[in-house]
């Protein structure tokens, strides 16, 4: 699978690790899978790690995503922190965050530690969440 989910229920957090090879279709499928997972709750914080990804979402894909009911369900009641590995990823993740609007809690970071701090998680959960 292009995305691996790790749930830290103690911290009310889901860590989503993207593999190197993803595309817009796999992003949409991952969001559907997350929404259908029984462990995913309305107020859960989301940490998305795209540091190892070669793909960068395009402006037309962002526009498609913005009007998707799947995206609306993901951002509704959730804080989303994305950790990017490259400037192009960081920039496009910020475009998505800004286009989503100020009411949505979405931010982009270069480090896992900063993202976890912004999400309100005091320490990195045990498991696959690691600094690079």
What's the pLDDT at 40?
A: 93
Which residues in the chain show pLDDT less than 50?
130-132
Please tell me whether residue 87 adopts helix, strand or coil conformation.
helix
Give per-residue burial for 86-102: e unless 16+ CB within 10 Å, then b. Answer: eeebbebbeebbeebee
- What integer best gives the mean pLDDT of the chain? 87
Cα 72 to Cα 14, 78, 128, distances in angstroms: 17, 10, 27
Residue whose entry in the numeric block shows the structure tokens 């993207």: 18
Rounding to the nearest 10 degrees, give the CA dihedral for residues 82, 21, 41, 129: -60
Domains of the chain with bracketed CATH: 3-119 (3.30.750.24)
What pLDDT does 101 receive?
A: 76
pLDDT digits (tens, 9 = 90+) for 109-123: 999 999 999 999 976
Contact 49, 16 (CB under 8 A): yes
Question: How high is the pLDDT of residue 130?
Answer: 47
Q: What is the pLDDT of residue 132?
A: 40
Q: According to the model, what pLDDT value does residue 102 have?
A: 66
């Amino acid at each position: 699978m292009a995305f691996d989910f790790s749930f830290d229920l103690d911290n009310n957090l889901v860590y989503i690790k993207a593999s190197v090879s993803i595309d817009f279709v796999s992003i949409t499928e991952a969001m559907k899978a997350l929404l259908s997972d029984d462990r995913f709750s309305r107020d859960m914080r989301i940490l998305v790690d795209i540091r190892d990804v070669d793909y960068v979402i395009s402006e037309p894909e962002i526009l498609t995503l913005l009007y998707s009911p799947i995206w609306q369900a993901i951002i509704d009641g959730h804080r989303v922190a994305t950790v990017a590995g490259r400037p192009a990823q960081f920039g496009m993740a910020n475009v998505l965050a800004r286009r989503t609007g100020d009411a949505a809690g979405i931010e982009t970071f270069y480090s896992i530690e900063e993202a976890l701090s912004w999400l309100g998680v005091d320490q990195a959960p045990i498991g696959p969440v690691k600094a690079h």
